[in-house]
Amino acid sequence: MNLTIRKRLYILSIIPVLTIALGMMWFTYLQTNAYNQQQIDQTHTTMMAMKKAELKNYVQMARSAIEPLLKRNATLEEALPVLRE
């Protein structure tokens, strides 16, 4: 292979630039994946906390609806209209 000095200089100058560019791309790729996984975990945790709070509110609403019936030992016939609301 007969390379001129000019071609050799081009090759010697391009190889480090390409190596640095590929290294930066790989580093960015790894950091982006790590950040995405962190965001997914954080979103999952937040959503689960919100769903637990919502479920707790629904249970509290249901208890407050039937509490007067439990206190007076109401029959099923008396409780059904309240439960259907």
pLDDT for 1-29, tens place per residue? 788 999 999 999 999 999 999 999 999 99
Cα gap 60→54, rounded to integer Å: 10
Per-residue confidence (pLDDT) for residue 12, from 0 to 100: 94
pLDDT for 29-49, tens place per residue? 999 999 999 999 999 999 999
Cα gap 28→14, rounded to integer Å: 21
Cα gap 11→5, rounded to integer Å: 10
- Is residue 66 within 8 A of residue 79, CB to CB? The reply is yes
pLDDT for 57-77, tens place per residue? 999 998 998 888 888 888 888
Q: Does the pLDDT value for residue 52 go beyond 80?
A: yes
For helices 76-84 and 5-71, angle between their N-to-C axes, nearest 10 degrees: 150
* Whether the model pTM is above 0.85: no
